Amino acid sequence: MDLFEKCYNYTEPQEAMKTGLYPYFHALETAQDTEVVMDGKSIIMLGSNNYMGLTSDKRTIEAAKDALEKLGTGCSGSRFLNGTLKLHEQLEAELADFFHKEGAVTFSTGFQTNLGAISSIIGIHDYILNDSENHASILDGCRLSFAKKTLKYQHNDMTDLERLLERVPAENGVLIITDGVFSMSGDIANLPEIVKLAKKYKARILVDDAHGVGMVGDCGRGTASYYGLEDEVDMIMTTFSKSLASLGGCIASSKEVINWIRHKSRPFIFSASIPPANAAAALCALRIIRDEPERQKNLIEIANYMRSRLKEAGIPIIEGETAIIPVFTYDRNRTFIITKMLFEEGVYVNPVIPPAVPEGQCMLRTSYTATHTREQMDRAVEAFKKVFSQV
């Protein structure tokens, strides 16, 4: 059998393109912002993770330009050898301080951060307990590890989590991994109960706060801060590609854990370090988030405004308190039709279909930015009302 036969027989995207319903790979012609130009059209962006609105902020752009001019386009090596800049060390120090941890280590992407941290921490005698809605990077990090067993508990179901914890032998290490703010549903992990169970069963906790940072917690410090449990969470992960307006990721933890990851994580050791411009933009964004708490307030206010307007219009949403508002479309084909119609009305949303969600639970993932305006939300709601009245 030809290795590429599966590639030749894979025609689902082409079939969707023939119907005019293929929703992916719309090319942006402008910077990521609350309104963008895609396919020559002006579009209200309701699909970005630019929660703080900093990707087009003059300060982050200038910080990136300055680093580019002073330090060049890349580091030409891994952090382990010639690829460490003073800028990297400064970024890690301020990230550690931001998360109220002893240390932090950065990776080239958020996805790689989970791969590198999980695979290095977990050994052959250890168990992993995963929330069923955890991000794909967590699942792949678990696959890359040598875990004795990876167990999945029902989403935010603490009874199911305890049932699985009871199965772990006392002599084995165990790591509970959860998203802080879940990327699809927008709900928040039940961290207080996870902490109680972790103490009871002597487990450690890793919170992936890729979506939580900037959105929840004191000055946007994330889910652990939101619950006042920073001292109880062992590792906090985040990415730079969302609120921090750049590319990269980090793990913050105790100095011993960070030291271990630095010297044992293959994705860290064998990858080139973050380019100077990316590190500088992330550092600048981190300082803005810390110093301008009104951005977080604006983000939640605009999301709550949109949530109330959608409910008034009779649009079926998942209730929540974050800046992610899922809109139910249920059927896969209907999801693609609505996505296309909204785009034609000047609103960009992200269609979510299986396997990201169960069959019959298709949705539009809408997300919001601190710099969105109510006028933009009003226009978007009118588009939703028009489209949902027709489909």
pLDDT of residue 286: 98
The b/e string for 5-14 (b: 16+ C-beta within 10 A; e otherwise) is eeeeeeeeee
pLDDT > 90? residue 356: no
pTM of the model: 0.96
pLDDT > 90? residue 178: yes
Our answer to whether residue 242 is catalytic in this structure is yes
What confidence tens digit (pLDDT) does each residue in 83-130 have?
999 999 999 999 999 999 999 999 999 999 999 999 999 999 999 999
Our answer to whether residue 100 is catalytic in this structure is no
Our answer to whether residue 183 is catalytic in this structure is yes
pLDDT of residue 33: 96
Question: Residues 119, 137, 145, 183: which is the catalytic one?
Answer: 183
- What's the N-to-C CA distance of the chain in angstroms? 44
pLDDT of residue 357: 86
Question: Residues 88, 135, 155, 211: which is the catalytic one?
Answer: 211
Question: Residues 242, 243, 253, 273: which is the catalytic one?
Answer: 242
Confidence of residue 358 (pLDDT cuts 50, 70, 90): confident
What confidence tens digit (pLDDT) does each residue in 33-92 have?
999 999 999 999 999 999 999 999 999 999 999 999 999 999 999 999 999 999 999 999
Confidence of residue 276 (pLDDT cuts 50, 70, 90): very high
Q: Which domains are seen in the chain, by residue range?
A: 10-45+293-388 (3.90.1150.10), 58-291 (3.40.640.10)
